[in-house]
A and B are shown apart, each in its own frame.
Chain A
Amino acid sequence: MNATSIPLHRSSARIGLSLFGLFVLLVLWSLGIHVLGKSMPLAGALSPSDTFHSLYDLLARNELTRHTLTSLKRVMVSLLAALALGVPIGVAVGSSRALDSSTSGAFQFLRMISPLSWMPIAVMIFGIGDAPIYFLLTITAVWPIILNTSAGVRQLNPRWLLLARSLSATRGEILWRIVVPGTLGHVLTGVRVAIGMIWILLIPCEMLGVSSGLGYFILDTRDRLAYSELMAAIVLIGALGFLLDALAQRLHRHWVPAGTD
């Protein structure tokens, strides 16, 4: 009885504290608008009440669906591309000490360059449209996936590999039955970090000559002087980011039993 009631009590306390934190954020937001309103009459449009009213209107009129779906599609396509590139590279780097040593300097160098710096070059190469966005988001997401996958391969218990060898496993069987499941936890941690980074970078990328997506919608509201809608889009971006992260966390818990990491 106690064993179940204690975690329940703890989780409800955690949710309570989390809601309290959101409430404090809302109060600070209102206070900020109140202070700003004295010197800037337009600030009223950025208030929580106007924002949530606009958000409700936009959702009710279905105006955000297309932009949201476009943005989510860009996230997913880029994430899949980053996985397709990053996992094999990570497995190779994690398996070979020589490859690890020869690539670590280059990877750390490339990783530290803000992906937005590539923007002019991406437009030059890919033109305007979805392609440069996919490129920028993919190179954003690929580093945490490569680094986490290679760390996952390096931490594989050598006894698991010995066990597989003792059962006459082929190279393919070792890869699919030991390496892939044994590194899944690390890959999903990489995915979680990558989703966060993609989501942050998506908005500025969508301000880049495209006609849909939440980033585009923000520029559009600015041009229409629809500031409460702009704030509504910001709130929606925060909420979607929060949900995406929660989803990645849930996937990790679902697919990775305790002790695998």
Chain B
Amino acid sequence: MSKPTPMLHPAVLEASHIALSYGHAGRATNVVLRDFSLQLKAGEVVAVLGPSGVGKSSLLRVLAGLQTPDNGGVRVHGESLKGPHPRVGLVFQDPCLLPWLTLEENVGFGLDFRHQPVLDAKTRRERVRDAIAEVDLQHALGHYPSELSGGMAQRVALARCLARQPEILLLDEPFSALDEITRGDMQTLLQQITARHKTAAVLVTHDIDEALVLADRIALLGGQPGGLIGEWRIEQPHPRDAVAAELTRVRVEIVQALRDARRAGSPPAELQRAVA
């Protein structure tokens, strides 16, 4: 299969040959991620899947412009990323709401920062209200974070990101702390939002089902140091059922690839699978 040309499928975000390590003066360097590349197209949802400690969250921080990799670089619309980009929204594992601000103020937090696009007060207010409506929390505008449930707080975090009208969403295991039912609701909400706004997203997760239900593409990280050990394209229409036969087959392949990687101690040759 021929490689798609950038002209036909321009990548909104492109990470090339990312290598990451942690080391302290006088101590051996611990390489967590080696030579990882990713191309994210407009409106595409990519799940970066992998076990804990493989460098997924660090990778996301690199994609968000919050961390400089040891090697490689990130481009947004072809431009080298030097720091956080106003059109790239980041959702953390915990909602990270500011307890002294109300729900509405939390959603609007940062919209007036100097390096954000300039918006007049009316537009800012509309953006905030629209984002809150997207996550269906209009009834709780004046509530403080201490008055919100875990699911509500994570919806506020998502709304804070949406108020920026991001072109790219970066999600760091955003639903991992939620109970199963709330997690399912949040996954549906995220899927609807990314589809409605054609937002591209990188979802970091260790939950295979979450990746299968949400992603157009799954990039599997594994091995020590971490690297890409498999990639699957999921073309099932939404809403998806994680126990559907085709998804179950991918699930089995993913588990097998992870086992192989662990057994080998280093990543096997890259796997490429396409599930129609």
| Given contact pairs A178-B98, A184-B100, A260-B99, A168 touches B116 in the complex (Cβ within 8 A) | yes
| Given contact pairs A166-B84, A167-B84, A173 touches B113 in the complex (Cβ within 8 A) | yes
Number of A-B contacts (CB under 8 A): 64
Q: Would you call A159 an interface residue if the criterion is a C-beta within 8 Å of the partner chain's C-beta atoms?
A: yes
Q: Is the CB of B96 within 8 A of A159?
A: yes
List, in ascending order, chain B residues with CB within 8 A of A169's CB.
Answer: 110, 113, 115
Q: Is the CB of A257 within 8 A of B100?
A: yes
Chain A interface secondary structure, helix, strand, loop or mixed?
A: helix
List, in ascending order, chain B residues with CB within 8 A of A258's CB.
Answer: 99, 144, 146
List, in ascending order, chain A residues with CB within 8 A of B94's CB.
Answer: 159
Mark B111-154 against chain A: 1 for CB-CB distance below 8 A, else 0. Answer: 00111100000000000000000000000000011100000000
Once the chains are docked, how many angstroms separate the CA of A181 from the CA of B90?
A: 22
* B contact residues, total (Cβ < 8 Å): 21
List, in ascending order, chain B residues with CB within 8 A of A168's CB.
Answer: 83-84, 86, 110, 113-116
List, in ascending order, chain B residues with CB within 8 A of A101's CB.
Answer: none
Q: Would you call A225 an interface residue if the criterion is a C-beta within 8 Å of the partner chain's C-beta atoms?
A: no
* A contact residues, total (Cβ < 8 Å): 23
Mark B80-107 against chain A: 1 for CB-CB distance below 8 A, else 0. Answer: 0001101000101010101110000000
Nearest CB on A from B228, distance (A): 25
List, in ascending order, chain A residues with CB within 8 A of B96's CB.
Answer: 157, 159-160, 162-163
Q: Is the CB of A181 within 8 A of B113?
A: no
Q: Is the CB of B114 within 8 A of A173?
A: yes
Once the chains are docked, how many angstroms separate the CA of A163 from the CA of B100?
A: 15
Q: Is the CB of A160 within 8 A of B109?
A: no
Q: Is the CB of A167 within 8 A of B116?
A: yes
| Given contact pairs A259-B145, A259-B146, A170 touches B99 in the complex (Cβ within 8 A) | no
Q: Is the CB of B110 within 8 A of A164?
A: yes
Q: Is the CB of A256 within 8 A of B113?
A: no
Nearest CB on B from A194, distance (A): 22
Residue of B nearest to A172 (CB): B114
Nearest CB on A from B59, distance (A): 15
Q: Is the CB of A257 within 8 A of B146?
A: yes
Partner of B98, one of A166, A170, A181, A256: A181
Once the chains are docked, how many angstroms separate the CA of A137 from the CA of B83?
A: 46
List, in ascending order, chain A residues with CB within 8 A of B98's CB.
Answer: 160, 163, 178, 181-182
Extra contacts, 4 of them, besides A168-B83, A169-B115 (Cβ < 8 A), are A160-B98, A164-B110, A166-B84, A167-B116
